[in-house]
Structure 1
């Protein structure tokens, strides 16, 4: 397994590499200190996981994420950042990343995050109300405030995908309609299900109707 760790701080890289080496002793870990070296490594060889700092020399962070997610849709990308700004988290997810890990996370939390990302799931810090609260919110209270709270818990891309899902579109059709990869659709759907506490596509579609996400 090849993992790239990108951060412009040598001490941070060393700490993450030590943790990764303990998690995955056989992994080939590649170090990068700027955006250009990350893109060069991704172009030159197959990578199984990319863990990148949000802000590094040569990129505003989101530009690098957009490039990686667009050009290497099968590559799981996890952000490692000191930022706990929900806008940064949502924007990164909107671009297609599979995880957002805070630099203050414990070893166990980082391990859990990486395992989820490698398994094809999405890992994010707890920024919104618990999923079970969101799942019952519209049933118990369909006020505009509740609706806005649920919508605010999802990224714009996730809302677009949820609207397509409510129309009965397949993952392939959603990918074509939104000009993203089918793998990115699957990643977002898993995140949507977890965020809303839905057990299947049908439940998510019904909730989308209650949220008035269907086009008029």
Structure 2
């Protein structure tokens, strides 16, 4: 039997911690090993418990989540961090990803996204909430009339199915939603996304969605 994913939850709001704990409690493959109320405590408890995944609020007292993220990644590089926030601005997403976050999730995301993000992070995969992807794209300026030739060249390396997957991702669909739309398994979607990211030189969903928009794939 596979050991459950060990999770540390860091949020300064006790009600939020209680709500997230309630969401995670039914899942046998996820166990909550500790809770922290500020960034400094999150770092200390990470060193003590060595969780697989840290759920880290982006705004906390003593030390904010972005600073705590950098310290956790520096001191415990094997620990994956999923950022939690009530904000969806692209500058937070960019800073979190640059700091080494494995995922970015809005607190008002659907409840089933939380365990999905934890499992993805524990498996070494990046997870960005579809809602985050949509909010980032909504904040971008309209693409230029002529897309950069480099972006077009990258898109042309994709097969028809890979381009279709990229468009659905850029529209904010999750892997499960893409699999339903295309009548394929989630494993097949993940394989397509791996090839898409490799071919177009992107590391995560937001980067890929932005490229799709610049290349004019969203109409």
**SS of aligned partner of 1:114:** helix
Aligned to 2:28: 24
CA contact (8 A) 1:76 1:97 kept: yes
Q: Name the CA distance, whole Å, in 1 between partners of 2:124 and 2:82.
A: 12
C-alpha contact 1:2 1:30 (8 A) present in aligned 2: no
> Counterparts of 1:33 and 1:145 in 2: how far apart (Å)?
48
Deviations 1:43-91 (A, max 9, x none): 2232111001001011132111111112211101101110100110111
* Root-mean-square deviation (Å): 3.2
Residues 118-174 of structure 1 show CA distances to partners (whole Å, capped at 9, x for unaligned) of 111111133269xxxxxxxxxxx97338849x9xxxxxxxxxxxxxxxxxxxxxxxx
CA distance in 1, matches of 2:117, 2:102: 9
State the distance in 2 between where 1:103 and 1:145 align.
38
Q: Which runs of 5+ in 1 are unaligned?
A: 130-140, 151-190, 206-210, 212-216
Per the TM alignment, residue 116 of structure 1 is displaced from its structure 2 partner at its CA by 1.1
TM-score, normalisation: structure 2: 0.59
What is the Cα deviation at residue 198 of structure 1? 3.7
Indicate conservation of the 8 Å contact 2:11/2:37, yes or no: yes
3-state SS in 2 of match to 1:115: helix
The answer on whether the counterparts of 2:81 and 2:101 sit within 8 Å (CA) in structure 1 is: yes
Determine helix, strand or coil for the equivalent of 1:23: coil
2:182 match:
none
Q: Provide the residue aligned with 2:161 in structure 1.
A: none
Stretches of structure 2 that go unaligned for 5 or more consecutive residues are 136-144, 155-189, 202-210, 212-219
CA drift at 1:199: 4.1
- Size of the alignment, in residue pairs? 151
